Amino acid sequence: MRPASEAELAEDIRSARGPLSILGGGTRLLPGEGRATPLRTGGLTGITLYEPAALTLVARAGTPLAEIEAAVAAENQMLAFEPPPAAGSTIGGVIAANASGSRRVQAGAARDALIGVRFVDGSGEVIANGGRVMKNVTGYDLVKLMAGSRGTLGVLTEVALKTAPLPPATRVLRLSGLSAAEAIAPLTIALTGPFDVTAALWLPGPGALIRLEGLSQSVAVRAEALKARLRGFQIEDTPHLRLDENILGGPGADSPRRDGDVWRILCRPSQAPAILATIPEPLRLDWGGALILARLPEGSMPPLPPGAIATRLTGAPARLPPPDPVTARLEAGLRARFDPRGLFASPA
């Protein structure tokens, strides 16, 4: 199925007789997703409204992310939540996955930039919620609910987003010679001080990276103050590195296939050192230590402290810990309400 309009999409869903896999670019699938009859949103494309002065943009769900980023860059703007790149990604897939990059520590997640949605539920009904400008937003909770729902509640057809001005100046401070665990302390200092950093992460090779953005004079003052606060660490200014590279490297979570499985671990930064002590060197440490991407031996599971959550990005489907009974009941209730025929359930 590749509907060319919202009405055609609604008719396709009403006439469906079995499970559907909602696919935009197919670049952000988790293991087990995408195995049912594909319903592709690539025919629902185009920016329908862009008001740079109002910092708002509305686009159909199948619009390529690259097209949207080019359009806002032409107006010296950006998507504030810094979606991680993936070749062929669509804006609907970004929102469905709540895909958010390093700037989340300052600007929030994708759901925080989402102010309106249109989607088709499992009964084939078209639902509009939220607004197209910040001063006219209603039904905010349902808008937030759709972000990160991964196509289990309905098929997004249009999203309204906040944009942000591109920062006039950027500086990246590099703290070299640190392991991922050793980077937690300086990253925490950077995030909890008056430095207004927009990224605090660690990568193999470069080491700990701290990004500051804004007016050039403000960036210079904050950078020098942060250097003074981190006296004792080996610090250097580095060219503006690409901090949002796609760790998995290919379309979909199952490509490329390498030895072991990639896990995404969410935790409190204070818990990160204990986790890192029990796993191989991570692929990435972000959000000051709250996000860990690591490749573990196939079939192994990361040890998790209370409150931490891990999702396997390659290999067999797995989420640790499983949802507690209350959360599971709420999720089941939402799916029953929005998808009473079970069309969008992943056949993992």
Q: How many Cα atoms sit within 13 Å of 131 on the Cβ side?
A: 10
Which of the four pLDDT bands, split at 50, 70 and 90, describes residue 35? confident
- Residue 142: what residue type? L
**139 pLDDT exceeds 70?**
no
Residue type, 219: V
Q: What is the DSSP letter of 251?
A: S
Q: What pTM does this model have?
A: 0.90
Q: How many CB atoms sit inside 10 A of residue 239's CB?
A: 7
Task: State how far the Cα of 348 lies from the Cα of 230, in Å rounded to an integer.
Answer: 47
CB 96, CB 33: distance < 8 Å: no
Compute the distance between CA of residue 271 and CA of residue 278 in angstroms, rounded to an integer: 12
Q: Which of 305, 315, 260 is nearest to 282 (CA)?
A: 260
Mean pLDDT of 155-179: 95
Alpha helices in the chain (DSSP H): 6-15, 65-73, 91-96, 104-107, 110-113, 140-146, 180-192, 216-229, 272-276, 325-338
Find the radius of gyration of the CA atoms of the chain: 21
Question: Average per-residue pLDDT in the chain?
Answer: 90
| 256 prior amide bond cis, ω within 30 | yes
Residues 6+ apart with CB under 8 A from 101: 81, 82, 83, 84, 243, 244
pLDDT digits (tens, 9 = 90+) for 248-301: 443 343 344 468 999 999 999 999 999 999 999 999 999 999 999 999 999 899
Q: What is the pLDDT of residues 67-92, one digit of tens each?
A: 999 999 999 999 989 999 888 899 99
| E-only strand ranges, 136-272 | 155-162, 164-165, 169-175, 197-203, 207-214, 235-238, 261-266
Work out the pLDDT band at 345, boundaries 50, 70, 90: confident
Q: How many C-beta atoms surround the C-beta of residue 165 within 10 A? A: 13
Instruction: Please tell me the total number of residues recorded for the chain in this structure.
Output: 348
Position 238 scores a pLDDT of 82
Instruction: Determine the Cα–Cα distance for residues 144 and 20; give it in Å rounded to an integer.
Output: 23
**Mean pLDDT (whole number) for 222-250:** 78
